[in-house]
Every structure is written in C-alpha cells, then in structure tokens.
C-alpha cells in the first residue's frame, strides 16, 4: 500500500468521524450522527475516492474541520482549515465565504482575526500563482468549465443530479428523512 493510499484512508476515516460528530451536534442526536456516517459509508462514490490516490479525502477533511471548528466557535482554527482548503482547490474559496457569512450572522461583527489568518494562508499562494502562472486562477478551472459545456451540463448540474435525476433522488432523500425525523422528535 502506498503512502498516498494510507493518507487517503486515514483522511477518509476522519471524514466519517467528523460526519458523525457534526451531524450529532447539529441534530442533538447520536443516532442521527450514526445514520449520517453510515449513509456516507454506503456511498459508492465515497468508497471510490477513499482509495483513489487523489486529494479529495484531504480536501473533504479540511472542509469538515472548518465547519467543525465553526460549531465549536473556534473561528481562527476554522479560518486555518478554510484557507488550506482554498489553497488545495480553488472551489475551497466557497468554504471561506460560507464561514464568513456564518460568523457575521452569528456574531454580528467582522471576524478580523479569522479573516487575517485566512488571508495570511491564502495570499502567498495567490501571489505565487499569479507570478509563476500569470493568473491566480488555475488552468484546470477553465478546463472544468469547458468540460461541463461539452457534456451539456450547466452550473446547476448538482441541483439536477440531486433532485431531477431519478437515480439519485431516492438515496439523497432517504438520508435526509431519518435525520429530519430524529430532529423533529427531540
């Protein structure tokens, strides 16, 4: 087994644990956390990327860590994780934006320290990418946008997949129903 496979496996185990922890904390039910983690473990796509040797398990782990730290109100650590996610993949910028909005809504003030930490992590990479590649945006982003057009997808493809594709809807809703019911029963 390669180091990459071991890191992916360890990262995926941490993703399962954080799924359980975050779901349990948000719902107030350990059972909801177990259902969420079990559902994750039963997903073929999760099992495929667990051992694929790509960055996906670590990227997912960074995102979940950022949300976990927000739940714990450890905003500086949330900013560290969000910054690392954004350095790893450009779409990680959405995580920083979501956390920034969550903080503003919850605290009603600007998260100066967390914002500075986030920018301190992200800025060196953006500067390097701009100087070395000529743009802070990776060429893979352009390729992915072209890929969507070639296959007839649009920017709302995830909505189509989750709610209009008759193959995905039952499993997506199946995971949401027990968690929602457990939350209502409390």
Mean per-residue pLDDT for 99-103? 88
Report pLDDT digits (tens) over 36-54. Answer: 899 888 887 788 888 777 8
CB count within 10 Å of CB 7 equals: 14
Total tally of structural domains belonging to the chain: 1
Report pLDDT digits (tens) over 57-100. Answer: 899 999 999 999 999 999 999 999 999 999 998 888 999 999 99
Does pLDDT of 11 surpass 70?
yes
How many angstroms separate the CA atoms of 58 and 50, rounded? Answer: 10
State which residues form the domain around 71: 3-135
Report if residue 176 sits inside a domain. Answer: no
Mean per-residue pLDDT for 175-182? 66
Report if residue 81 sits inside a domain. Answer: yes
Report if residue 178 sits inside a domain. Answer: no
The pLDDT of residue 168 is 52
Does pLDDT of 3 surpass 90?
no
How many angstroms separate the CA atoms of 80 and 133, rounded? Answer: 25
Residue 2 binned pLDDT confidence (cut-offs 50, 70, 90): confident
Report if residue 21 sits inside a domain. Answer: yes
Cβ(122)–Cβ(100) below 8 Å: no
The token pair that represents 84 in the structure block: 């690392």
């Amino acid at each position: 087994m390669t180091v990459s496979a071991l890191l992916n496996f360890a990262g995926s185990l941490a993703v399962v644990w954080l799924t359980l922890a975050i779901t349990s904390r948000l719902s107030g039910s350990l059972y909801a956390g177990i259902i969420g983690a079990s559902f994750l473990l039963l997903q073929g796509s999760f099992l495929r990327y667990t051992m694929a040797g790509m960055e996906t398990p670590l990227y997912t782990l960074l995102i979940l860590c950022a949300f976990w730290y927000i739940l714990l109100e450890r905003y500086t650590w949330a900013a560290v994780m969000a910054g690392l996610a954004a350095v790893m993949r450009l779409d990680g910028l959405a995580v920083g934006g979501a956390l920034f909005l969550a903080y503003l809504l919850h605290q009603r003030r600007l998260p100066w320290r967390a914002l500075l930490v986030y920018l301190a992590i992200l800025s060196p990479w953006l500067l390097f990418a701009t100087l070395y590649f000529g743009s802070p945006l990776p060429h893979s982003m352009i390729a992915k946008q072209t890929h969507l057009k070639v296959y007839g997808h649009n920017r709302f493809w995830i909505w189509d997949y989750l709610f209009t594709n008759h193959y995905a809807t039952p499993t997506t809703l199946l995971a949401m129903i027990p968690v929602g019911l457990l939350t209502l029963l409390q």
